[in-house]
Amino acid sequence: MSKKYVYMFEEGNAKMRDLLGGKGANLAEMASIGLPVPPGFTVTTEACLEYNKTGELSDEVVAQVEDALAKLEAKIGKKLGNIDNPLLVSVRSGARASMPGMMDTVLNLGLNDQAVEGLAKKSNNERFAYDSYRRFIMMFADVVIGVPKSYFEEYLDEYKAAKGVKYDVDLDAEDFKKVAAKFKEIYKEKQGVDFPQEAKVQLYEAIKAVFRSWDNPRANVYRQMNDIPYDWGTAVNVQSMVFGNTGSKSGTGVLFSRNPATGEKGLFGEYLIDAQGEDVVAGVRTPSAINDLAKEEDPVLRGIHTQLVNVADTLEKHYKDMQDMEITFEDGHLYMLQTRIGKRTAPAAIKIAVDMVSEGLATKEEALLSVDPKQLDQLLHHTFDKDALAKAKPLGKGLPASPGAAAGKVVFTAEDAKARAAAGERVVLVRLETSPEDIEGMVAAQGILTVRGGMTSHAAVVARGMGACCVSGCEEIKINAAEKYFDLGGVRFTEDSYISLDGNTGYIYGEDIPSADAEISGDFDTFMKWADDTRKLQVRTNGDTPRDAKTALGFGAQGIGLVRTEHMFFEEERIPKMRCFVLADTTDERKEAVKALEEYQKTDFTAIYEVMQDLPVTIRLLDPPLHEFLPTTDAEFQAVADIMGKSVADLKVKARGLHELNPMMGHRGCRLAVSYPELPEMQTKAIIESAIAVKKSKGYNINPEIMIPLVGEVKELTYVADIVKKTADKIIAESGLDIEYKVGTMIEIPRAALLADEIATVAEFFSFGTNDLTQMTYGLSRDDAGKILADYLDKHIYEADPTARLDQNGVGKLMKIAAEGGRSTRPDLKLGICGEHGGDPSSVEFCHRIGLNYVSCSPFRVPIARLAAAQAQIKYPR
């Protein structure tokens, strides 16, 4: 039994999107509920994948197409390529997910020098026939053969100019005959062979061209941005043509059942009389608003509007969501050419979701599922003015590392960013890569652009944490930071140049594009309340400062999942003290240095506790390699030398000794605590003493969770946990207060995941550090991943950047091993995630499914995680 590659519309339904694509499945579905759909058939996505692998349509596929075509011809009573009564068809792509404008379409297929005459006779409309023919020649040349349509359009413009008219409607049958003849000449001139007259040849070439368009560069880019796997493929829909270009009772239109920008109920869209579909898109004539159809003089047209209102209503009830439709009306008869769930802005998405529930069209669960969590980003960040953005031309592209829009003058150092921002300038910080010392500059800048680094590079992580726009890893940039300029897309940028960054797409513009804050509506609160009522997974935030904590609380965070204590050490006043620690030779020197830091830590923890009140706060002990703190300039060395009473030369020798070849896998995390027990001792002291202080002064119930990073072996956890407990218990006992605290660990080293059952004998909670876990599991450094990821995405080796979207297959397998292992030892083990994946919807769903208690993400991603968690609960109830 051979596989079924071709389905007549009447054989399909909406549930068959994987095989028939969205368009094919919905055409079938509309046909089945009695809406007027021109007959046709769909060639499956499986046929596409096979074609793209082998480069040939198999005999089986061809045989089934022939069979379907015969059925179609019988149904319509016309024959493809027939001279007297030709069947014309459209050949259109349709993938499982909507990818608007990414792939190709051919209309009016089946016309040739004889058939066009037959069509003219049969329709009694020679002008229409030749108009259709010239359209077909151009589309076939452009889409199937790759001869750009500009050659044809240029000629048409010349022709109209010569005749002294402006619009196509001003041309008559004779004109189109001449144009069609000339188009065939252009075709032959560019392609070297005659335009194919054989209709079957036209059909198969068109099908193959649509299949190939699945692999075109813009489709690949779109898929990467939207997490659409390459191996879905596209289907092809072959449908009998209906014509909007047969006269004044004919036309074409695209419309939504609600306003996609605002969410307001009612038809929204455009139509054109006496035109085919591509005319609307091409903007040849200015179309009218769809509701103007109700004001047309011709009652036939007004009737179409009435029909449309009913159709939209029917489809919304049927699909329980806002619809995006394509229609054609031919001599007063309405035909549905497509319907799909309509894309919409974030505010519209929220309004529609809430309205649909109050209209009784959808349940709360359906409403929650109708909004893409990633879209919420738009609500929380600066966005560019849409029209201004549409006109701007990007000069380059990096990774969309942190959403939002930023525009300003270029600065090359954090100091400059601070100074010029303080002077009232809008600036964008451009760096080879950022380091913790750049933080103040990053805060001051509108946005950050880096040449190196991936989605979890320092710049990306910090920017997301602050809600600042960041584009990272734009390797095309040639930067000369010393001389303060860089080159991109053939343009040299200096400190006087304006630049704009789109953090949602990664595009970089060489101009100052205006932007605005988005607003959050009352519907948003209603909607998020539904999400909170639904989800089982808690959502915490990663935050290092009281400011972060406040922002995240405002976004609905239920605690802090990660305080990175090291971020506190980079402030101007503090860093010299940290450097004394790093450059110390003896334990005594280290203890001395640590003492100074203890007070800072207490101040910080106290402030964070006061914001979070009774909510849980997880504090991670010092994590990064020490050399991150090292002085770089002579002045900085001198400052440390003065404090320590040492020579700069000695300190420089010491600093060189701290160099590591692979710092990511070097002396960091709990390894620092093992080497220098005075460090966890000091940090524990600060954590517990500030908890006691806040409990005393404010009465909040502070129960800190102390997290030990980079554990790979239970004995190292035991070693550090013993220090923490001994220190904490003593302080608590002396305070006479009842302070509960937990000691847990990050699971971020593959070995820790593998041996989680042992680790859980000591750890009271696990938090998956999926940034490091992904790096180690892949053996791929996030700082060096730029070129590798580009090549791998290009060659379809990776479907997505694993540092941005959790690799459920590999890293996820380790997480499952760890979750099961940990809970086998300690059934009530609290499990969370604090890697950047905690804010990625598909990763959140995975965390829900493997039984985590919470996800923790940057403040600005908290709403996304809340919605994603609700959706996960609806899809996989637990």
| Residues labelled catalytic | 458, 834
Q: Among the candidate windows 5-13, 518-526, 657-665, 700-708, which touches its own copies by CB under 8 A?
A: 657-665
Residues in 719-748 that interact with its own copies by CB under 8 A: 719, 748
SS3 assignment, position 327: strand
Contact at 8 Å (CB) between 514 and 500?
A: no
The CB-of-814 to its own copies minimum distance in angstroms stands at 7
Residue 301 CA to residue 285 CA, distance in Å, equals: 19
Q: Tokens in use for 623?
A: 């994590």
Q: Among the candidate windows 421-429, 535-543, 600-608, 667-675, which touches its own copies by CB under 8 A?
A: 667-675
**Rule CB under 8 A: is residue 712 a binding residue for its own copies?**
yes
Strand 617-620, strand 705-708: pairing = parallel
Q: Among the candidate windows 50-58, 465-473, 712-720, 833-841, which touches its own copies by CB under 8 A?
A: 712-720
**Rule CB under 8 A: is residue 811 a binding residue for its own copies?**
yes
Nearest residue to 651 (alpha-carbon basis) of 677, 629, 668:
629
The CB-of-226 to its own copies minimum distance in angstroms stands at 20
Q: Among the candidate windows 170-178, 538-546, 660-668, 856-864, which touches its own copies by CB under 8 A?
A: 660-668
**Rule CB under 8 A: is residue 663 a binding residue for its own copies?**
yes
Residues in 672-711 that interact with its own copies by CB under 8 A: 674-675, 710
Pick between residue 36 and residue 677 the one whose CB is nearest to its own copies: 677
The CB-of-674 to its own copies minimum distance in angstroms stands at 6
Contact at 8 Å (CB) between 335 and 36?
A: yes
The CB-of-479 to its own copies minimum distance in angstroms stands at 11
H helix runs in 617-769, sequence order? 634-644, 648-657, 670-675, 678-698, 714-735, 750-754, 756-759
Residues in 443-502 that interact with its own copies by CB under 8 A: none
Pick between residue 814 and residue 831 the one whose CB is nearest to its own copies: 814
Q: Among the candidate windows 513-521, 802-810, 828-836, 863-871, which touches its own copies by CB under 8 A?
A: 802-810
Nearest residue to 233 (alpha-carbon basis) of 217, 212, 207, 214:
214
The CB-of-628 to its own copies minimum distance in angstroms stands at 11
- Compose the 615-654 pattern: x for residues touching its own copies by CB under 8 A, - for all others: ----------------------------------------
**Rule CB under 8 A: is residue 661 a binding residue for its own copies?**
yes
Pick between residue 397 and residue 796 the one whose CB is nearest to its own copies: 796
Q: Tokens in use for 355?
A: 């309205």
Find the binder of its own copies among 36, 39, 546, 666 (CB under 8 A). 666
Residue 775 CA to residue 592 CA, distance in Å, equals: 35
Pick between residue 378 and residue 781 the one whose CB is nearest to its own copies: 781
DSSP string, 172-240: -HHHHHHHHHHHHHHHHHHHSSPPP--HHHHHHHHHHHHHHHTTSHHHHHHHHHTT--GGG-EEEEEEE
Residue 402 CA to residue 471 CA, distance in Å, equals: 7
Pick between residue 80 and residue 743 the one whose CB is nearest to its own copies: 743
The CB-of-794 to its own copies minimum distance in angstroms stands at 9
Angle ∠(154,160,161) on CA atoms, nearest 5: 85
Contact at 8 Å (CB) between 806 and 838?
A: no
Distances (CA, A) of 791 to 479, 506, 788, 794, 797: 22, 17, 5, 5, 8
Q: Among the candidate windows 113-121, 369-377, 403-411, 665-673, which touches its own copies by CB under 8 A?
A: 665-673
C-beta atoms surrounding 93 within 10 Å: 26
The CB-of-95 to its own copies minimum distance in angstroms stands at 20
Pick between residue 71 and residue 654 the one whose CB is nearest to its own copies: 654
**Rule CB under 8 A: is residue 755 a binding residue for its own copies?**
yes
The CB-of-231 to its own copies minimum distance in angstroms stands at 10
The CB-of-436 to its own copies minimum distance in angstroms stands at 14
The CB-of-816 to its own copies minimum distance in angstroms stands at 10
Residue 420 CA to residue 431 CA, distance in Å, equals: 16
Read off the DSSP letter of residue 850: T
SS3 assignment, position 88: coil
**Rule CB under 8 A: is residue 749 a binding residue for its own copies?**
yes
C-beta atoms surrounding 221 within 10 Å: 15
Find the binder of its own copies among 3, 295, 813, 875 (CB under 8 A). 813
Q: Among the candidate windows 121-129, 546-554, 662-670, 861-869, which touches its own copies by CB under 8 A?
A: 662-670
Pick between residue 124 and residue 662 the one whose CB is nearest to its own copies: 662
Pick between residue 430 and residue 776 the one whose CB is nearest to its own copies: 776
**Rule CB under 8 A: is residue 751 a binding residue for its own copies?**
yes
- Compose the 759-798 pattern: x for residues touching its own copies by CB under 8 A, - for all others: -------------x--xxxxxxx-xx--xx--xx--xxxx
**Rule CB under 8 A: is residue 807 a binding residue for its own copies?**
yes
**Rule CB under 8 A: is residue 810 a binding residue for its own copies?**
yes
Q: Tokens in use for 175?
A: 């004109």
Question: What's the length of the chain?
Answer: 878
Pick between residue 834 and residue 862 the one whose CB is nearest to its own copies: 834
Q: Among the candidate windows 84-92, 186-194, 714-722, 861-869, which touches its own copies by CB under 8 A?
A: 714-722
C-beta atoms surrounding 635 within 10 Å: 9
H helix runs in 738-780, sequence order? 750-754, 756-759, 770-778
Contact at 8 Å (CB) between 408 and 367?
A: no
Extended beta strands in 433-580, E state: 447-450, 469-472, 478-480, 485-488, 491-493, 498-502, 507-509, 515-516, 538-542, 560-564
Give every CB contact of residue 256 below 8 A, 6+ residues apart in sequence.
267, 268, 269, 322, 323, 324, 325, 342
Read off the DSSP letter of residue 114: T
Q: Which residue is associated with the tokens 């979890």? A: 456
Q: Tokens in use for 704?
A: 């800190």
Pick between residue 527 and residue 719 the one whose CB is nearest to its own copies: 719
Give every CB contact of residue 440 below 8 A, 6+ residues apart in sequence.
414, 418, 571, 572
The CB-of-598 to its own copies minimum distance in angstroms stands at 23
Read off the DSSP letter of residue 556: T
SS3 assignment, position 529: helix
Burial of 83 (C-beta count, 10 Å sphere; 0-12/13-18/19+):
middle
Find the binder of its own copies among 351, 374, 464, 671 (CB under 8 A). 671
Strand partners, 80: 87
Total chain residues near its own copies (CB under 8 A)? 47
The CB-of-481 to its own copies minimum distance in angstroms stands at 12
The CB-of-177 to its own copies minimum distance in angstroms stands at 48
Pick between residue 38 and residue 680 the one whose CB is nearest to its own copies: 680
Pick between residue 379 and residue 755 the one whose CB is nearest to its own copies: 755
Pick between residue 429 and residue 746 the one whose CB is nearest to its own copies: 746
- By CB under 8 A, name the binding residues for its own copies: 660-667, 671, 674-675, 710, 712-713, 715-716, 719, 748-751, 754-755, 772, 775-781, 783-784, 787-788, 791-792, 795-798, 807, 809-811, 813-814
